[in-house]
Each structure stands twice: as structure tokens, then as C-alpha cells.
Structure 1
Amino acid sequence: MPSLRKIMFFSVFNLITAATCFGQQSLSSAIERQFNKIENDILTTAEAMPESRFNFTPESLNIENSTFKGVRTFAGQIMHLATDNILIWSAITGDSVRADIEDVNGPKSIKTKKDIIEYLKSSFTIGRKAISTLTNQNAMDMIDFRWRKLPRLDLAFYALTHANEHYGQMTIYLRMCGIVPPATLSNQ
């Protein structure tokens, strides 16, 4: 006859297991949580830079012994990020990309702050669509991206990592222009 201790152990174990199963979220919802945060951080940072400084680059500061020669402008950071978002997330969905994207710096016709931010927002819309297609069943499906095959999930991680890298650069550009990044302001 099983001991009371064993019965209690297995009862608690079964309750924990059941609670864990019911509390599980989908793969796409886990990715979307990270996506929502970086989307908000990037959009508020882009909005915080005045249009008059949108083409700022640290190279213009002429800091002695710096290595800023040839770095992207603030607008260039956003255009590159948005374009790579479109390219990466579209690879996950299998959708075609805009015809005016010639390289990773985006369409040359997009120049104003308003248009750049709209382009950025459109890239996040594509990202949200791609994330909604990810499931446990298809996450490891191999897809073609930049001359190699990668799992769909790997591309989602790459998109989030890439966005975070450029967000970090954008916040430094803001600070170089004397602007406190919105995420910092909200934490004060």
C-alpha cells in the first residue's frame, strides 16, 4: 500500500503539472512580448529626435581619435532597421517585399521624419504578422534567407536582436544631441 507521503507527493506533482500546462502560452505570444517592448522603445526614440536633427551623425562632432567616420545618420539607422525588419519578417511569412527596396538602407525616396517613421511602423506591422504565424510545429522549418537556410525561429530572434542593437545606437545619438531617451524618462 502506498504511503501517505507518496500519495501527497504525486498529488502535488500532478497539480503543478496541470497548472503548468494550462498556464503555457504559445510560441508567438512569447516572441510578441519582446517584440512589443522593442517596438515601443524604437518608435518613441524615433519620435523624440527633432526633425532638424534627424540627419545627425556622431561624425559631425569631430571628436578627436573617434571612429565615427562613415557611420549612419539617425535617419539612416531607422531606415536600415526598418528595411531589415521588412526583409527578415517577410522571409518568415514568405511575402514579397516592396519593389523600391534596393539594399539594406531602404528606399531612397523616403526622406522626411514623418515618412521615415511611417516606413518604420510598416516594418513593425509586417513583424507582427510574421510572429502570428509562428507555431511550435513550424518554428524549426528551414527557410531561405541571404544565401543560406535558417529556421523560422532563428530569424525571429535575429530580427529582435538586430532591433535591440539599433535601438541602443539610437539612444546614444539622442544623448549626443542632448535628449534623454523616452525609456529613461519613463523610469525616472
Structure 2
Amino acid sequence: MTKMRCLMTAACCAVLTLPVMSMAQDMASAKPMPKMAVEGTPLTPAASLNAALSVFEEEVVGAAEAMPAEKYDFAPSVPGGEFKGVRTFGEQVKHLAGSSSEFFHGFGVTGGVDPKMLDNLKTKDELVKALKDSFAYAHTAISSITPENAFLALKGPENFKSTRVSMASFYMAHSMDHYGQMVEYLRMNGIVPPASRPGASM
């Protein structure tokens, strides 16, 4: 009887220990919690906008890198749909690579991807590099935003009320518009976008 009681006690201890071990393993494998900002801390426009851009950049570049090179000429074709003339995946990447020069040309910051050179880019590696260079230029342009110039009007149509902040915001919205299309292209090819995979930071 004593031997049986000992066996039952050992079994109960083992069962009770499993959730604790599982929790410890989950905690060990989990990503560390991000450091939380102190609410009310003053931030510069450049710091706040660049932080947001970094999140978008990770998603867009991740999607561009996830598509195999042989699929860069993929464009949707679904029965009953209308996809005549839509951009291929590679053309989506190329369009985004050239967009920062368009959005930030009025910031007085040199650099960026020359839109005239984009037509010479054919391979995935060339296009991904151009995309990364484009985001680097966008960060440089946004870094030039100060509290003093953030909301000064830029040259452009009066009804747009363009400022450095609004152009930076529009650039990011434009990037995510095309990112959404890239996501669909990836999923139509059986690829889960990196930002949507388990354990992704976003």
C-alpha cells in the first residue's frame, strides 16, 4: 500500500510539474517585451516619424525578400477578375524604390534612387537593393524635419497644403498601399509574408 501511495504521489507531482515546465519553456523562447515609452515625454517630429517608417520598412523589405526571384514577374490572373495592365511583383518593388525621390525632392536633401535608372534594374537583388536605398533616403529626408520646419508649406498645389510632416505621412501611407498588394501576390504564390508569420514582431 505504501509503495502504491508513493507511486501515485510521484505521478501527481509529475503531472503538476508539466504546466510549470511548459510555461518556463514558453517564457524562455518568447521575445523580450519592448521597452515602453514614458507617456508625455517630448519627442522630435523626426524621431517619431522615423520610428514609424522603420516598422513599415521592415514589412515592405521583408515582403520583397520573401518572394523568390523567379516570381518577380508574377502578376495576378484570377477567373472573373480584371487584372489587365497591373504591375508585376517586381514592378511593385521598383515603383516603391522610386517613390521616395518623388515624395522628398522638396526637402533639400540629396541622394535617393534616380528614377531614370530604375528601368535598368531587372533582377531581384538589384530591385531589393534599390528599395533599401530608397528607404535609407527617406530616413535621411525625415531626419531633416525639425519642430521649426515641420509644418511650413512646401511648394506644390495650394489645396494639398503640403508640409514636411504631411509628405512623410503620405509617403508611408503610399508604401503600405503597395505593401498590401505585395502581400496578396505572396499569398497567391503560397508564401506567408514575414510580418504575418508566428513570432513576428508586428
> After superposition, what is the alpha-carbon deviation per residue over 1:42-87, rounded to whole angstroms, capped at 9, x for unaligned?
11110000001011000xx3x2220211100000001111111222
Q: Match for 1:133 among 125, 134, 144?
A: 144
> After superposition, what is the alpha-carbon deviation per residue over 1:99-149, rounded to whole angstroms, capped at 9, x for unaligned?
x524xxx62100100000111011011011011111111011222258976
Aligned partner of 1:85 in structure 2 is 100
Cα distance in 1 for residues equivalent to 2:152 and 2:63: 34
> What is the CA-CA distance between 1:186 and the residue it aligns to?
3.9
Structure number with higher relative contact order (C-alpha < 8 Å, ≥ 6 residues apart): 1
Cα distance in 2 for residues equivalent to 1:174 and 1:20: 38
Higher strand fraction: Structure 1 or Structure 2? 1
Kept in 2, the 8 Å contact 1:87–1:97? The answer is: no
Kept in 2, the 8 Å contact 1:81–1:163? The answer is: yes
Aligned partner of 1:38 in structure 2 is 56
Aligned partner of 1:171 in structure 2 is 183
TM-score (norm 1): 0.78
Determine which structure has more spread, i.e. the larger CA radius of gyration.
2
Any gaps of 5 or more consecutive residues in structure 1? 1-18
> Across the two proteins, how many residue pairs are aligned to each other?
162
For residue 30 of structure 1, give the secondary structure of its aligned residue in structure 2.
helix
The residue correspondences of 1:43-58 to structure 2 (distance < 5 A) are 43-58=61-76
Cα distance in 1 for residues equivalent to 2:147 and 2:98: 27
Matched, 1:121 2:132: yes
RMSD (Å) for aligned C-alpha atoms: 2.3
